[in-house]
A and B are shown apart, each in its own frame.
Chain A
Amino acid sequence: MRLEYTERQNKFRTEIREWLAANVPKQTLQSFDTEEGFRQHREWEHKLNSGRWSAVTWPEHLGGRGVDLIEWLIFEEEYWRAGAPLRVNQNGIFLLAPTLMEYGTEEQKKRFLPRMAAGDDIWAQGWSEPGAGSDMAAIRCKAIRDGDHYVINGQKTWSTRAVWADWLFGLFRSDPDSVRHHGLTFVLLPLNLPGITIRPIKQLNGLPGFAEIFFDNVRVPVENRMGEEGQGWNVAMATAGFERGLMLRSPGRFQQTAKSLVDLYKAEEKNVDDCSLRDAVVKSWMDAEAYTLATYATAGRLRRGEHIGPEASTNKIFWSELDLSMHETAMRLLGPRAELMGGAPDAGNIGHWLEGFLFAQAGPIYAGSNEIQRNIIAERMLGLPR
């Protein structure tokens, strides 16, 4: 056991810290779920990429720095510490890219990854359908082979960032006679193809953070398929594994929230006569630390060549509940001011807590609901009968 950073890791931290200090926009960007905000965030991705910071774990020839997972965690810590903008391309960089690295052809990697790193292509996800939410194997949206194309017909929904994104990755039924997780194919497609209709869906905050997508005879070249035809489920599961496992929510995010919560508590303590709040703040710090430690431990295991197994599902539950409880604590600390919208003239600088509180509500639902995660833990980690 060695719980210290190496010289090289410390140097890496200093380098990213200095770059961020010089480059993070002083003014908070608008939400990337607005058209202008999306543009601003794309510009920020260009900037990050100009310093070769947008995808540090990728090999150098694809736009990364070839660093390992510990350095990625360090990068993330510094990123959150600096209050840098949210990653508009996180679907691409953190979810699709690891899958592309594993299942994509060399040609696909060269075609998609550098543009992804640069923010030239922003990616949306196409998993859920009206009849396929937690039960993803119930997917019905078809991609039927016609010569050197797939013809796509059907509907996707809850597609995050799809309103302004350039590309979509998702799972489609390529064998119309197949059932469940057989006969599915993983396809990448640009969202400006003829036959695609995107209908924005407003989220709790009133902004169109996701969308419905309708496909009407949309033709996608076969070379946009990832993995073999009919093998899409396995490819998608790899993505889901990364999503639950490590890359979707790095600990820096929650540590930054916990730290802000400590500051909020110190500022508000005298105004709030509720002795349970100190405990809640202590618990936030503890759980953010626990999540960090567990993530470092997992990164260490992966670096030794081990794999993330079903215990990844414990991560998803832990961080989503942590995020909820931290924001609930903040709302309780803010008391009657907590409901004030960010732009309210007398609110002061507290709007990010309400935004975070709303977003935290979604945590136990997306990326596989926490009920599904508990089933996975019980069946695959604890060995309980189906």
Chain B
Amino acid sequence: MDFAFKDEHIAFSDSIRKFLMVEAAPEWLREIWETETGRSRELRGKLAEQGLTALSVPEEFGGIGAGDLEWVLIHQELGYYAIPDSLIDTAYLATYLLNRLPADAALKKTWLPKIADGSARIAVGHPVNPMVADAQNADLILMWHDDEVHALAKDQVKLSFNPSIDMSRRLYKVTWTPSEATRICPARLGKQLWDGVLDRAALAGAAQLVGLTQRMLDLGIDYSATRKQFGKPIGSFQAVKHHLADVAVKAEFAKPVLYRAAYATEREQARRGVYVSHAKLAAGEAAWLGARKSMQVHGAMGYTWETDLQMFMKRAWALDAAWGDRAFHKKRIADFILADGARLGPGETFA
């Protein structure tokens, strides 16, 4: 029984953290927000150079072949730095789908190497989300239709842009017509694949939310240590301390839940979905509390556009309901714990 990550996974995520700290400063992210596409070729190129686009791609297609546990550390960093890119949709979710298509699928050979080298962006549409993220920038769009998987080029769909409060999210309503020609996977296999996509997307969301919680907590700590009132840093007042301590508690207890979910996902355990839903709920709650408390600690500054906190709060607010809102995930847990013969209680945590 051991929650420790492999040394090389920790070393890799440490190196990504250091890289993002230097290369993804909030000022630059704001510039990217303001652009028409909301995406930066330069940023994507840098992420690819770090190996992030190749993480899930098998070695035979030029990738690294990493698993969900390695990713969960990276997702946290991407959350901490609020990276405005479709990296996760492309390199984690779409790659998962493509990897599991039959071995002879032409699509795999075409797209996996391009994902690995960072030259392709792929969007993924699932009915749990009313919009498709990054559809406009995508070179390929993978869509759900009655559990089938369909692959579409941009000229096969109609897109309408729906701005989000989080300007780094680029959401589109996608109108399209399924056909034999667009279908790349039948429903009998597709159902399983889409379940896998949904759980991985929710897991990635949970991990980003944990990273975001930490960032908002750190911003609150920094601000409360420097801002002075009544002749003292406001962080010396108990009322302020307790706000931030509450966030630390939530963050501390969301992490092991997240790691169990990642473990169950990588191992394809039967309780994968329940554990992922737990992680998403715990992380979403932590992140919303983090946003609320950090804003309170920032006072009026927290309500401004200029203060960086807004970038992380908005991401937290948006991700909470992406890939399954709280009602969706609570229901999955309720169905599990209220089922007849459910194995609950002491000794069943790792069953």
Give residues in A with beta carbon < 8 Å to B. Answer: 1-6, 9, 13, 70, 74, 76-78, 80-81, 251-252, 255-256, 258-259, 262, 265-266, 278-279, 281-282, 285-287, 289-294, 296-297, 299-300, 304, 311, 314, 317-318, 371, 373-375, 377-379, 381-386
Which residue of A259, A299, A383 has the most chain B CB atoms within 10 A of its CB atom? A259
Residues of chain A lying within 8 A (CB to CB) of residue B175: none
Tell me the smallest distance from the CB of B226 to a CB of chain A, in Å.
10
Select A3's contact among B225, B263, B344, beta carbons within 8 Å: B263
Contact present for A4 and B1 (CB under 8 Å) = yes
Asked whether B103 is an interface residue with its Cβ less than 8 Å from the other chain, the reply is no
Tell me the smallest distance from the CB of A312 to a CB of chain B, in Å.
10
Would you list which residues of chain B between 207 and 258 have a CB under 8 Å from chain A?
Answer: 217, 221, 224-225, 232-233, 235-236, 238, 240-242, 244-246, 248-249, 252-257
Contact present for A293 and B241 (CB under 8 Å) = no
Contact present for A382 and B217 (CB under 8 Å) = yes
Look across to chain A and name the residue whose beta carbon is closest to the beta carbon of B238.
A375
Contact present for A371 and B249 (CB under 8 Å) = no
Contact present for A258 and B2 (CB under 8 Å) = no
Which residue of B253, B342, B348 has the most chain A CB atoms within 10 A of its CB atom? B253
Once A384-B225, A385-B236, A386-B236 are accepted as A-B contacts, the answer to whether A378 and B346 lie under 8 Å apart by CB is no
Contact present for A318 and B253 (CB under 8 Å) = yes
Contact present for B349 and A255 (CB under 8 Å) = yes
Residues of chain B lying within 8 A (CB to CB) of residue A6: 1
Look across to chain B and name the residue whose beta carbon is closest to the beta carbon of A299.
B1
Which residue of B224, B236, B344 has the most chain A CB atoms within 10 A of its CB atom? B344
Asked whether B330 is an interface residue with its Cβ less than 8 Å from the other chain, the reply is yes
Contact present for A371 and B242 (CB under 8 Å) = yes
Contact present for B345 and A81 (CB under 8 Å) = yes
Consensus secondary structure, chain A interface: helix
Instruction: Give bound CA distance, A384 to B218, whole Å.
Output: 11
Contact present for B350 and A265 (CB under 8 Å) = no
Instruction: Give bound CA distance, A252 to B217, whole Å.
Output: 31
- 8 examples of A-B residue contacts, CB within 8 angstroms: A1-B69, A266-B338, A282-B334, A304-B4, A314-B252, A377-B248, A382-B248, A384-B224
Please classify how large the interface on chain B is, using the bins under 10, 10 to 19, 20 to 34, 35 or more: 35 or more
Once A290-B257, A384-B225 are accepted as A-B contacts, the answer to whether A74 and B347 lie under 8 Å apart by CB is yes
Residues of chain B lying within 8 A (CB to CB) of residue A256: 345-346
Contact present for B330 and A378 (CB under 8 Å) = no
Consensus secondary structure, chain B interface: helix
Contact present for A290 and B238 (CB under 8 Å) = no
Closest 5 CB pairs of A and B: A378-B241, A259-B345, A77-B346, A293-B256, A374-B245
Would you list which residues of chain B between 252 and 285 have a CB under 8 Å from chain A?
Answer: 252-257, 259-260, 263, 278, 281-282
Instruction: Give bound CA distance, A251 to B249, whole Å.
Output: 16
Residues of chain B lying within 8 A (CB to CB) of residue A252: 346-347
Tell me the smallest distance from the CB of A253 to a CB of chain B, in Å.
8
Instruction: Give bound CA distance, A379 to B235, whole Å.
Output: 9
Once A371-B238, A382-B248, A383-B221 are accepted as A-B contacts, the answer to whether A2 and B1 lie under 8 Å apart by CB is yes
Residues of chain B lying within 8 A (CB to CB) of residue A2: 1-2
Residues of chain A lying within 8 A (CB to CB) of residue B350: 3-5
Once A258-B344, A285-B333, A290-B282 are accepted as A-B contacts, the answer to whether A1 and B257 lie under 8 Å apart by CB is no
Contact present for B345 and A255 (CB under 8 Å) = yes
Select A300's contact among B4, B6, B255, beta carbons within 8 Å: B4
Residues of chain B lying within 8 A (CB to CB) of residue A311: 252
Instruction: Give bound CA distance, A293 to B225, whole Å.
Output: 32
Instruction: Give bound CA distance, A386 to B2, whole Å.
Output: 35
Residues of chain A lying within 8 A (CB to CB) of residue B344: 255, 258-259, 262, 285
Residues of chain B lying within 8 A (CB to CB) of residue A371: 238, 242
Asked whether B25 is an interface residue with its Cβ less than 8 Å from the other chain, the reply is no
Select A314's contact among B238, B248, B281, beta carbons within 8 Å: B248
Instruction: Give bound CA distance, A281 to B333, whole Å.
Output: 10
Contact present for A258 and B225 (CB under 8 Å) = no
Residues of chain B lying within 8 A (CB to CB) of residue A251: 346
Tell me the smallest distance from the CB of B128 to a CB of chain A, in Å.
19
Select A258's contact among B1, B232, B345, beta carbons within 8 Å: B345
Residues of chain A lying within 8 A (CB to CB) of residue B330: 279, 282
Select A377's contact among B4, B233, B245, beta carbons within 8 Å: B245
Select B347's contact among A3, A78, A296, A379, beta carbons within 8 Å: A78
